[in-house]
């Protein structure tokens, strides 16, 4: 993650404010600088699981009781909220999150948090669970993540993200697509349908992005598992075999945890040995089962070789058509609502918020002729400024543009393709949100949307 996504440097100690960075530490005296660090650094005790589960129980209790004052007290002074409802994604800072939630508290609701999983360090912890939420006729369910930090002597929620919202409607088919990741030890295919083994071999740090700590640990292939003898085809056409199963843990830790590891916190201390960092980082996220691909070295996703290859879309460079998409984007109710906020909240509220960043792309299915147009805008606002983002997908039907989806976060389109052979195009997005690396999105919402994710536990501002 780039430096622009790091939290704003502040003078308060880490223990006081969950999402504020301390100032650079004063260099130690020369005598101390020359002193050799101990071979093993005593690890601080992680936040107790019982305390984290008690906070989760309190969080559900105040919502079910309609106690907004109690709910508000659970959130850290620096906070990021990511809300998903069906196909719509919205990001909030603390003030706007609570304003949105206060409207929610106006009606009775039912909130359940089931099957919680805890990953804790001394300064922060992650709670992942399945949320079941209902109010009136609206019902959804899906995995949710809470990032918990210490704020003074209390535990507070510094980040809340609905990882996936599934409206309670009949389920549809799941497509055969498995995302890949290139690491120092090879190209790996993620296999989320496999159970996570309880035992694994030594933990190894893998080279990837600097801000994401990726570690692998070998595991035995599950008995009678079809994947152990499966050949796979990569999106570039290369065919390979799976030859080694591992657990992959991928986490972007809270900055306070990283500073403890590096010895740059307040007060500064000795750096933590690499082996200890590997063990702590591995334990911070829920690992995923993956298998190394032998014979291929590149690729964004893999499929079984008995699955038909996807049909690639053809880019369309019709400028009048792209201009129609830009005008259709500007006419969306969600875009107009953001414009009202722009006029009320921006420091320099001249013009339209989307003008400088609006871009449009068009793609056509080479067989069915379906034409999709994607319009995206992001005003680049930070946490302290007015921030507006929107992505909309339109379909050309005759001479009309029909909106299929809106409310998606802006992201680079890696591929536009038909993966299930139904003549309808899907979109492979790169980094649509902080915790998602890649996501295959169906504008028709015909099936659950697979994603490659990592555990994001840091602060974006």
pLDDT in tens, 334-370: 899 989 988 888 777 888 999 989 999 999 999 999 9
How would you label 108-142 residue by residue, b for 16+ Cβ within 10 Å and e otherwise?
A: eeeeebeebebbbbebbbbbbbebbbebeeeebbb
pLDDT tens-place string over residues 232-241: 999 989 999 9
Token pair recorded at residue 241: 């075999």
Q: Mean pLDDT in the chain?
A: 84
Q: What percent of the chain has pLDDT over 90?
A: 54
pLDDT at 444: 83
**Neighbouring residues of 121: CB distance < 8 A, sequence distance ≥ 6:** 46, 47, 253, 254, 257, 260, 280, 284
- For helices 274-284 and 255-262, what crossing angle results, to 10°? 160
Give dist(CA 124, CA 284) in Å, integer. 9
pLDDT at 14: 38
Give dist(CA 93, CA 78) in Å, integer. 8
- Please report the DSSP string for 79-111 in residue order: EEEEEEETTEEEEEEHHHHHHHHHHHTTS--EE
Say if residues 416 and 313 touch (Cβ distance below 8 Å): yes
Exposed / middle / buried, residue 317 (Cβ in 10 Å: 0-12, 13-18, 19+): exposed
Give dist(CA 452, CA 435) in Å, integer. 9
Residue identified by tokens 């871009």 is: 359
- Please report the DSSP string for 382-439 in residue order: -TTS---EEEEEEEEETTEEEEEEEEEPP-EEEEEEESSSSS--EEEEEEEETTEEEE
Average pLDDT over residues 41-60: 87
pLDDT at 335: 92
Say if residues 386 and 346 touch (Cβ distance below 8 Å): yes
Could you give the 3-state DSSP secondary structure of residue 65? helix
Say if residues 160 and 81 touch (Cβ distance below 8 Å): yes
Say if residues 138 and 164 touch (Cβ distance below 8 Å): no
Q: Is the pLDDT of residue 16 over 60?
A: no
pLDDT at 44: 76
Q: Is the pLDDT of residue 385 over 80?
A: no
pTM for the model stands at 0.67
Positive or negative, the Cα torsion across 21, 27, 32, 36? positive
Say if residues 8 and 19 touch (Cβ distance below 8 Å): no
């Amino acid at each position: 993650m780039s430096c622009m996504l790091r939290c704003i440097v502040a003078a308060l100690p880490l223990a006081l404010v969950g999402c504020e960075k301390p100032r650079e530490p004063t260099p130690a005296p020369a005598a101390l600088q020359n002193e050799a660090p101990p071979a093993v650094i005593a690890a601080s005790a992680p936040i107790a699981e019982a305390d984290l589960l008690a906070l989760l129980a309190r969080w559900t209790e105040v919502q079910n009781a309609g106690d907004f004052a109690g709910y508000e007290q659970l959130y850290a002074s620096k906070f990021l909220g990511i809300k998903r409802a069906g196909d719509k994604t919205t990001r909030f800072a603390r003030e706007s999150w609570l304003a949105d939630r206060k409207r929610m508290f106006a009606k009775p609701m039912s909130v359940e948090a089931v099957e919680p999983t805890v990953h804790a360090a001394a300064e922060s912890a992650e709670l992942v669970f399945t949320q079941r939420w209902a109010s009136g006729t609206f019902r959804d369910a899906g995995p949710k993540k809470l990032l918990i930090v210490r704020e003074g002597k209390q535990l507070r929620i510094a980040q809340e993200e609905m990882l996936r919202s599934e409206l309670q409607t009949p389920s549809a088919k799941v497509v055969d697509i498995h995302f890949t990741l290139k690491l120092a030890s090879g190209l790996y295919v993620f296999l989320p349908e496999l159970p996570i083994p309880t035992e694994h071999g030594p933990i190894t740090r893998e080279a990837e992005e600097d801000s994401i700590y990726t570690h692998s640990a070998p595991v035995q292939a599950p008995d009678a598992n079809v994947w152990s003898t499966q050949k796979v085809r990569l999106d570039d056409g290369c065919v390979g075999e799976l030859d080694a199963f591992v657990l992959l843990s991928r986490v972007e830790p809270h900055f306070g945890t990283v500073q403890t590891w590096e010895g740059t916190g307040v007060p500064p201390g000795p750096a933590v040995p690499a082996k200890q960092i590997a063990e702590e980082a591995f334990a911070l996220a829920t690992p995923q089962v993956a298998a190394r691909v032998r014979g291929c070295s590149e690729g964004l996703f893999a499929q079984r070789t008995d699955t038909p290859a996807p049909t690639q879309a053809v880019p369309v460079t019709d400028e009048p058509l792209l201009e129609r998409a830009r005008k259709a984007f500007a006419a969306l109710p969600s875009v107009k609502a953001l414009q009202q906020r722009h006029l009320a909240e921006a420091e320099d509220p001249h013009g339209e918020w989307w003008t400088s960043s609006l871009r449009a792309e068009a793609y056509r299915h080479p067989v069915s002729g379906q034409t999709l147009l994607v319009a995206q805008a992001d005003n680049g606002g930070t946490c302290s400024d007015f921030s507006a983002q929107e992505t909309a997908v339109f379909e050309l039907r005759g001479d009309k543009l029909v909106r299929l989806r809106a409310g998606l976060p802006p992201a680079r389109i890696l591929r536009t393709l038909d993966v299930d052979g139904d003549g309808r195009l899907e979109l492979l997005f790169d980094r649509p949100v902080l915790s998602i690396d890649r996501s295959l999105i169906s504008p028709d919402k015909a099936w659950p949307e697979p994603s490659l994710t990592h555990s994001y536990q840091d602060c974006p501002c």
